[in-house]
Structure 1
Amino acid sequence: MNPIKGYLFDLDGTMYAGTAPIQAAVDFVNRLEATGFPYLFVTNNASMTPEQVADKLVSMGVHVTPEHVLTSAMATARYIEKMTPGATIYMIGEDGLRLALEERGFHVTEEAKADYVVVGLDRHITYEKLAKGALAIRSGARFISTNGDIAIPTERGFLPGNGALTSVLTVTTEKDPFFIGKPEPVMVDIALEMIGLTKEEVVMVGDNYHTDILFGINGGIRTLHVNSGVHGPAFIQEQEKLPTYMVESLDEWTHA
């Protein structure tokens, strides 16, 4: 195998658990930062800006800047830019998605007439927002969802995720969306562009087999499973496709 020249990291369950940092991961990333080793945080969260993600990590002791963050909102905007520069977009989502789209020069409209309907997590969702999205899709707009996460972990428990909101439009329009976030491989190519490495040179680090590990497998890159979050070693060993590596925590990982 080629030497590892960069890392992609998940966040929740890998870098922190809710509001508590996972110290082994914090220390590992800080060592990467101190030596100038390339890395990127890859998150399905489309509601936060890269600045907000970086601020949360900094508050937990991670020496990071917004340039080290790739959200599914950013990846969505980059994907559409390649497909249809200057498109008109009807958006369901929050500030992280809106800013990512506007920074790429898209016109975000409030009308049910657009080139694309883009759905991200919206904790202020209304019937009217969904109605306009459905009308736009039925009128020919391309249907994109930032990610398919059906539930998200919070201090209150698991709450409806973006995949749950997206499913309303899927059912009512009978149209399937194109998903951008993990475990779909779209963000792999975008992440590699951002850190200037090839698939053979990077490793995806995560705790969730269904999102992080399958993201790496689907994207053709090596994977490192850490037992600090959703899935433990017993579950991993039952899977048909296994991660390239598995450790209890990043304290055990010495490849960098």
Structure 2
Amino acid sequence: MASIASHTQEMNLMALKKFPTPCALLFDLDGTLYRGDEPVSGASELVAYARTKSLTPLFVTNNSTRTPSEVADHLLRMNIVAHHEEIVTSALAAAYDIQARSPGAAVFAIGEHGLKTALREAGLRLIGEQSEEGKSRELAIADFVVQGLDRALSYSRLAEATRQLLAGAGFVQTNPDRLLPVGDGFLPGAGSLGAMLEAASGQSPRVIGKPSTIIMDFALELAGTTAEQAWVIGDNPYTDLAAARNSGCPSVLVLTGLCTPDNWRELCVDANVKPDAVCEGPEQVMQLLDNML
């Protein structure tokens, strides 16, 4: 891996010592702890190290399709120990946000199992779902249309969501990611689906996932700490680092995913972010923590 000598550990420490001693680590997932189904070298050791130092690990993801238990199981298959209560998905944060603002609200959901489970478990009322007999339940007017990634989305569901938005429902989007990385390519992400609804309805969504502060506030509440005591560790300047900037958290960029030693400066400038530390990978993050704790 190319050298990042211009951003040495000494410079990392100098920047991070402006903040209090960390109490929590907010990890991004894909590109940070793993790539697809392969763990990043040192990821499991970093998470284990955090636990030995009594640092609260939270796993913060814009993915709304899986439940926290499913995310934790995926991590465990890569020997990264995570508990379901430590998983913060955009679906959970969306459900929390709506329930806090409008308890028991009626929602029309475009999304997969993870989103619908989170909405139901938060006490929200889903409308327009299939009954046990396979027939669509009678549609009422929704208080909110909640939209995430839905890889089985039909035109009729898009049409109904548009009808609800035009009738006055609020528009909540789990995350703004326009592209979903898969293998060696990309698929349309939740942000692309939302762009269709925005164009049809003329209504801009309330965005929950990174870089929004909504998911970050939810994570910080779960961690029980302040923003300045929660390090955000991620590979993406546009989501992870921008979320840290927006929330006032220290940010640690790892060069294990979107960013490389050759492009990280350019991407950070484009995203209008400045990481507090730049590390080649989890091992260097552990060295930083050793010097901070």
Deviation, 1:82, is 1.1
Could you list the runs of 5+ residues in structure 2 that have no partner in the other structure? Answer: 1-18, 129-138
Distance 1:34 1:59 in 2: 21
Letter in 2 for 1:219: S
Deviations 1:125-172 (A, max 9, x none): 000100000000000000010001001111252111000111110111
Q: Percent identity?
A: 38
Amino acid in structure 2 at the alignment position of 1:194: L
Letter in 2 for 1:105: G
| Correspondence for 1:64 among 77, 82, 91 | 82
Q: Do the aligned partners of residues 129 and 156 (structure 1) sit closer, same or farther apart at CA in structure 2, a change above 3 Å counting?
A: farther
Residue-by-residue CA offset, 1:23-52 (whole Å, 9 max, x unaligned):
212210022234432010000000000000
Inter-partner Cα distance in structure 2 for 1:158 and 1:26: 27
Match for 1:150 among 178, 182, 190? 178
Give SS of 2:163's match. Answer: helix
Structure-to-structure mapping, 1:18-33, within 5 angstroms? 18-33=36-51
Find out whether 1:54 has 2:82 as its counterpart. Answer: no
Once the two structures are superposed, what CA deviation does each residue of 1:150-200 show, in whole Å capped at 9, x if it has no partner? 011112521110001111101111111111001111111110110100011
1:242 aligns to 2:264 (yes or no): no
Instruction: Please list the CA deviations of residues 44-81 of structure 1 after superposition, one character each: whole Å capped at 9, or x if unmatched.
Output: 00000000000000000012111110000000000011
Consecutive unaligned residues of structure 1, counting only runs of 5 or more, are none
Structure 2 Cα separation of the partners of residues 209 and 43 of structure 1: 14
Q: Secondary structure at the match of 2:146?
A: strand
Structure 2 CA distance, aligned partners of 1:91 and 1:58?
29
Alpha-carbon distance change, 112 to 236 in structure 1, aligned in 2, over 3 angstroms: farther
Give the counterpart of 1:193 among 211, 221, 229. Answer: 221
1: distance between equivalents of 2:54 and 2:235? 24
Which residue is 1:204 aligned to? Answer: 232
Q: 1:100 aligns with which of 118, 126, 129?
A: 118
Output the CA distance in 1 between the equivalents of 2:256 and 2:71. Answer: 20
Partner of 2:14: none
CA shift for structure 1 position 252 = 1.1
Q: Which stretch of the first structure deviates more once superposed, 218-227 or 22-31?
A: 22-31
For residue 33 of structure 2, what is the amino acid of its counterpart?
M
Q: Distance in 2 between matches of 1:154 and 1:236?
A: 21
Structure 1 residues 248, 156: CA separation in 2 closer, same or farther (over 3 Å shift)? closer
Are 1:33 and 1:63, in contact at CA under 8 Å, matched by a contact in 2? no
Q: What is the CA distance between 1:225 and its match in structure 2?
A: 0.1
What residue is the counterpart of 2:249 in the other structure? 221
The amino acid across from 1:18 in the alignment is G
Aligned residues: 256
3-state secondary structure, aligned to 2:181: strand
- Distance (Å, rounded) in 1 between the aligned partners of 2:81 and 2:60: 16
Instruction: Output the CA distance in 1 between the equivalents of 2:273 and 2:82.
Output: 32
The answer to whether 1:162 aligns with 2:190 is yes
Q: Which residue of 1 aligns with 2:62?
A: 44
Displacement of 1:112 in angstroms is 5.9
Determine if contact 2:162/2:201 at 8 Å carries over to the other structure.
yes
Query: Contact 2:172–2:208 at 8 Å: present in 1 too?
Result: yes
Alignment-mate amino acid for residue 193 of structure 1? E
Matched, 1:130 2:158: yes
* CA distance in structure 2 between the aligned counterparts of 1:171 and 1:112, rounded to whole angstroms: 23
SS of 1:147's equivalent?
coil
Q: 1:247 Cα shift?
A: 0.6
For normalisation by structure 1, the TM-score amounts to: 0.97
